[in-house]
Amino acid sequence: MASGKVKWFDNKKGYGFILNDAGQDVFVHHTSINGNGFKTLNEGETVDYELVDSDKGPKALNVKRTPGSPQPRA
């Protein structure tokens, strides 16, 4: 499992990017975020995820907020 910080996430479009530990942008779609209800991520929040390669570049799946990390307010 990889980890990184949310670079940005657009609630209207339903996607954003995570900056991984290597400084690489990783695409994240709202359908890949674990949890119930409205799925969103906050800029600067730390997440764990499965990293996969897609035809458009790195993509995050099974995204989870890192336990114990402070969660920035929206």
pLDDT tens across 42-71, in order? 999 999 999 999 999 999 999 999 887 666
Q: What is the pTM of this model?
A: 0.87
User: What's the pLDDT at 38?
Assistant: 86
Which residues share a beta bridge with 20? 4
Q: Say which residues have a Cβ less than 8 Å from residue 5's Cβ, sequence separation at least 6.
A: 18, 19, 44, 45, 46, 47
Pair of tokens at residue 38: 């409205």
* Full domain range(s) for residue 32: 2-65
Closest by alpha carbon to 19, among 60, 56, 52? Answer: 60
Domain CATH for 11: 2.40.50.140
User: What's the pLDDT at 67?
Assistant: 82
Residue 17 has pLDDT above 90, yes or no: yes
- Structurally, the chain folds into a number of domains equal to 1
